[in-house]
Amino acid sequence: MSRSLRLAVIPGDGIGPEVVVQGLKVLAAVLPSDVKLETREYDLGARRWHATGETLPDAELDSLKDHDAILLGAIGDPSVPSGVLERGLLLKLRFAFDHYVNLRPSKLFPNTATPLAGRPEIDFVVVREGTEGPYTGNGGSLRTGTPAEVATEVSLNTAYGVERVVRDAYERANARPRKKLTLVHKNNVLVYAGHLWKNIFDTVGREYPEVTTDYLHVDAATIFFVTQPERFDVIVTDNLFGDILTDLAAAITGGIGLAASGNINPGGAYPSMFEPVHGSAPDIAGTGKADPTATVLSVALLLRHLGYEAEAARVETAVAQDVTARDGAPRSTEQTGDALVSRVLAASVTN
Amino acid sequence: MSRSLRLAVIPGDGIGPEVVVQGLKVLAAVLPSDVKLETREYDLGARRWHATGETLPDAELDSLKDHDAILLGAIGDPSVPSGVLERGLLLKLRFAFDHYVNLRPSKLFPNTATPLAGRPEIDFVVVREGTEGPYTGNGGSLRTGTPAEVATEVSLNTAYGVERVVRDAYERANARPRKKLTLVHKNNVLVYAGHLWKNIFDTVGREYPEVTTDYLHVDAATIFFVTQPERFDVIVTDNLFGDILTDLAAAITGGIGLAASGNINPGGAYPSMFEPVHGSAPDIAGTGKADPTATVLSVALLLRHLGYEAEAARVETAVAQDVTARDGAPRSTEQTGDALVSRVLAASVTN
Ligand SMILES: CC(C)[C@H](C(=O)O)[C@@H](O)C(=O)O
Ligand SMILES: CC(C)[C@H](C(=O)O)[C@@H](O)C(=O)O
C-alpha cells in the first residue's frame, strides 16, 4: 500500500521561489520511496496582487485546506504597501488555519559565524503564540492623516488561546533533556494580558512537576539572549514578543539564513505551514545568493509534524554536517541545495 | 548672585538608594560653586507601599512638581505584586510629568566588555516615546481567572504625541555629525499605529533635508543591533519597542551597569526625571556591588538638560576615562563613586 503526502506550495515573493525549489529537492530525496509526494503550487504574493488585486481568495483558501501541509517561501515586496500582503496573505493563513503554535528552534552549529564573542552554547526553541496578541488586526484610526489623528492597536488575549499554547510548550519542554520552560512577557506594564499569561503558566505548570520554570520580562530576555543564551531551553511567549525574540535568536545563531519555523495547528484540523523566518529579501532575489538552509530546516519541521521523525532527523543531520563543513566560500542557492541533497542521500545509504 | 538647583531625589528600591548616593556625590563635585544644590528626598517605593499602601500620593506628586529635576534610583521589589509600583509610581511619574522623550544613549567605550565579537563601534541614542503606545494602562480583563477570560491591552497613539517626539528626534539627529535617524516600528502588522508613525516621520522629515532617514521593523532592528550596531545614529520609536531595544542596547554596550536615561519634558512645564536603565536588582542590594556608573551618566543627562553643558561633558569624560581604565578587579559601589568624583575634580582643576 502506498502513502501520500499532499503538499501545498506557496513560493511567494523575492527569494521565496528560489529557496522553495531547494526545499522540495531535499524533501523528495528524503521521503521513503513508498510515499507519493503530490505538490500543488499556488500563485500568491506581490505578482498576483498587482495583476488582480487579490491576496488570498476564499476559493484558494479552501483548496489549500485540502492538503497535509503547506510549504511557504516568503511574502512581501517593496512595491506593495506595507501590511497588505502580510495581513492579507501570511497572517490570514496563520489565523484561518489556527496556527496557534509558531515553532522556532534556534541552534548554534559548530563553525557557524555568530556575532557573539565566546561562542556560547545555544540550543533553544521558541513557542510563539500565533493567533492572538497584537496580531489580530484589531484596531483603527480616527481622523486619519490629520493633526488630530488617533490610532489604536488592540492586543487580544484569551484564556482559551493562552492555555493551549502554554500547554504545548510544557509538553515540548517535558520531552527535552533539560526540561526548562521560560515565560517571556511584560507583566509589570501590560498587566491585564501579562497576568492572564502568568496565571495560566503557573496553573498548567502544576501538571508538569518535572519542568523547571522561569519568568522574564521581554526587555530583560533580550539581554540574556546576548549575554547568556545557554540559559534557555524552551521559551513560550506572545505573538509580538515571539516575533521580536526569534529574529534576535536567528541573529545570534548564524543569521536568518538558518532560521526555520513551523506554523502549527497541533490538532490537525487544518494543515500546518512551514516557512523560513527570513523574508523575501528583494535585494538579492534572482541573484542565486539566497541560502536555502532555513527552508530545508523548515522541511525537517514539516516532516516531524507529519510523523516522519527519522526523515526529519536525517535532514537535520545533513544540515548540521553541511553547515559545520562550510568554509565561507560563496555558494549559490542551488549548490547549497545540491550539497544538502547529497548529504541526505549519503545518510540514507548508510542507515 | 547665586543660582540654585532644586533636585527631588527618589532613591527607591533595591540598589536604588546605593547608586543614588554616588550620583549625588558626583553632582555635588561638578556643580559650579555659585550653584546652590538643594535636595529633597522622597520615600517612595516598596517600603512605603508595604507600610501605607501608597505608591504616589497626590500631595507628593504636587511637591515633586516644584523642582528643577528628579533623580530616581530604581523602582520594584519581588515582595510587591508585579505592576503595582511600576504603574503606580514609575509610569505615573512619566505620564503625570509628560515625559514624552525617553532619552537613552548607548556608547561602547574602549575596554568595556561587550558580548559582541569584533567590538563594533557603537554610539547611538534611542529616543523612546514615553507617554503613549501600549503603556497607557488602557485595557482590561473580563471573566478574570476563569477559562473564559479575555484580556486586552490597547496601544494608544496620537498624531499630537507622535509628532512631538519625532520632531525632537530629528532635532537631535540634525545636531549630531552623522545626522541619521531611523524609525523603528512594526508597520507591516500594526498597520494603524505603524502608518501614523511612518506618515508623521516622513512629513516632519521634509523639514530636515540634511537628516538621512531609514525605517526598520522592530524584529529586524534587533538583528542589526547585534550584527551591525554601527549603522545606528539616532533611533526614534514607540514606548514598548523602545523599552525592548534599549535593554538590548545596554547589553551590547557593556551592560545595564552603564546605561543612563532621561525622562524628559522638553518644554519644561514639568521637571524631567533621570534614572539608570537598570532596575532595583534586589539580588545584589546591600552588598555594595552595584555599579553606580549608570546613575552618574544619568546625572550628566540631568546637567545637560538644565543647561550645564560643560559640567555634563566633564562627567561624561570622567566616566569614559574611568571605564576605559577599569581592569575588571571588583570595586565597591562607593569606590567607583569615589573614583568618578576624583576624575571629575581633576578635570575641573585642569580646565
Ligand atoms: C512578515 C511578518 C508579518 C512576520 C511576522 O511579524 O510574524 C514575520 O516577521 C515573521 O516573523 O514571520
Ligand atoms: C520598570 C518598567 C516599568 C520600565 C519600563 O518598561 O519602561 C523599565 O523597563 C524601563 O525601561 O525603564
Half-sphere exposure of A83 (CA within 13 A, CB side): 15
pLDDT band at residue B111 using 50, 70 and 90 as cut-offs: confident
CATH of region B1-104+258-351: 3.40.718.10
Q: Is the pLDDT of residue B171 over 80?
A: yes
Judged by a CB distance cut-off of 8 A, whether residue B219 touches chain A is yes
Task: Indicate the fold that domain B114-253 takes in CATH.
Answer: Isopropylmalate Dehydrogenase (3.40.718)
Q: Kind of pairing, strands B180-185 and B3-12? A: unpaired
Our CA-based measurement puts residue A292 at a distance from the nearest CA of chain B, in whole angstroms, of 19
Q: Is the pLDDT of residue A320 over 80?
A: yes
Q: What is the C-alpha to C-alpha distance for residues B198 and B190, in angstroms, rounded to an integer?
A: 11
Same fold, B1-104+258-351 and B114-253: yes
Judged by a CB distance cut-off of 8 A, whether residue B3 touches chain A is no
Contact B30, B315 (CB under 8 A): yes
Tell me the percentage of chain A whose pLDDT exceeds 70.
Answer: 98
pLDDT value of position A255: 85
Q: Is domain A1-102+259-351 annotated with CATH 3.40.718.10?
A: yes
What residues in B contact A145, CB-CB < 8 Å? 199
Of the given ranges (A45-49, A181-185, B324-328), which has the lowest mean pLDDT?
B324-328
Grid cell 534586589 is found at B282
What residues in A contact B115, CB-CB < 8 Å? 116-118, 226-227
Tell me the percentage of chain B whose pLDDT exceeds 90.
Answer: 94
Q: Is the pLDDT of residue B13 over 90?
A: yes
Give the number of other CB atoms < 10 A from CB of residue B256: 21
B243, B273, B280, best to mutate for ligand 2 pocket (most atoms within 8 Å of CB): B243
pLDDT digits 0-9 by tens, A105-116: 999 998 898 999
A335 Cβ neighbours under 8 A, 6+ residues apart: none
pLDDT value of position B266: 96
Q: Is the pLDDT of residue B63 over 60?
A: yes
Contact B210, B171 (CB under 8 A): no
Q: What is the C-alpha to C-alpha distance for residues B199 and A143, in angstroms, rounded to an integer?
A: 13
pLDDT digits 0-9 by tens, B83-96: 999 999 999 999 99
Contact B194, B202 (CB under 8 A): no
Q: Which of B100, B135, B170, B270 is catalytic?
A: B135
Of the given ranges (A42-46, A108-112, A231-235, B347-351), which has the lowest mean pLDDT?
B347-351
Degrees, nearest 5: CA angle B334-B336-B337: 60
Question: Is B94 marked within a binding site?
Answer: yes
Q: Is the pLDDT of residue B347 over 90?
A: no
Q: Do residue A156 and residue B152 have CB atoms under 8 angstroms apart?
A: yes
Three cell numbers written together for A205: 505548570
pLDDT band at residue B110 using 50, 70 and 90 as cut-offs: confident
pLDDT band at residue B350 using 50, 70 and 90 as cut-offs: low
Q: Is the pLDDT of residue A123 over 80?
A: yes
What residues in A contact B199, CB-CB < 8 Å? 145
The answer to whether A243 is a known catalytic residue is yes
Three cell numbers written together for A75: 511574502
Helix (H) or strand (E) segment spanning residue B23: helix B16-30
Q: Do residue B189 and residue A87 have CB atoms under 8 angstroms apart?
A: yes
Extents of the domains making up chain B? 1-104+258-351, 114-253
Q: Kind of pairing, strands A101-107 and A69-74? A: unpaired
Which protein residues are within 6 Å of ligand 1, measured from CB?
Answer: A 76, 86, 90-91, 243, 277; B 188-189, 219
| Neighbouring-strand partners of residue A5 | A37
pLDDT value of position B1: 57
Q: Is the pLDDT of residue B209 over 70?
A: yes
The average pLDDT across B295-324 equals: 97
Q: Which of B77, B238, B243, B322 is catalytic?
A: B243
pLDDT digits 0-9 by tens, A321-350: 999 998 888 999 999 999 999 999 998 665
Q: Do residue A188 and residue B156 have CB atoms under 8 angstroms apart?
A: no
pLDDT digits 0-9 by tens, B229-259: 999 999 999 999 999 999 999 999 988 889 9
Q: Is the pLDDT of residue B336 over 60?
A: yes
A21 Cβ neighbours under 8 A, 6+ residues apart: A11, A292, A334, A337
pLDDT digits 0-9 by tens, A239-257: 999 999 999 999 999 888 8
pLDDT digits 0-9 by tens, A277-299: 999 999 999 999 999 999 999 99
Q: What is the C-alpha to C-alpha distance for residues B304 and B125, in angstroms, rounded to an integer?
A: 15
Ligand 2 centre distance from Cα of residue B243 (Å): 6
Q: Do residue A153 and residue B149 have CB atoms under 8 angstroms apart?
A: no
pLDDT value of position B96: 98
Judged by a CB distance cut-off of 8 A, whether residue A186 touches chain B is yes
Q: What is the C-alpha to C-alpha distance for residues B98 and B273, in angstroms, rounded to an integer?
A: 10
DSSP B253: T
pLDDT value of position A186: 98
Q: Whose CA is nearest to atom 2 of ligand 1?
A: A86
The number of C-beta contacts closer than 8 angstroms across A and B is: 223
Average pLDDT, whole number, for chain B?
96
Judged by a CB distance cut-off of 8 A, whether residue A136 touches chain B is no
Average pLDDT, whole number, for chain A?
96
A188, A190, A223, best to mutate for ligand 2 pocket (most atoms within 8 Å of CB): A188
Q: B324: buried, middle or exposed (CB in 10 Å: 19+, 13-18, 0-12)?
A: exposed
pLDDT value of position B327: 86
Half-sphere exposure of B287 (CA within 13 A, CB side): 11
Q: Is the pLDDT of residue A1 over 90?
A: no
The average pLDDT across A32-57 equals: 97
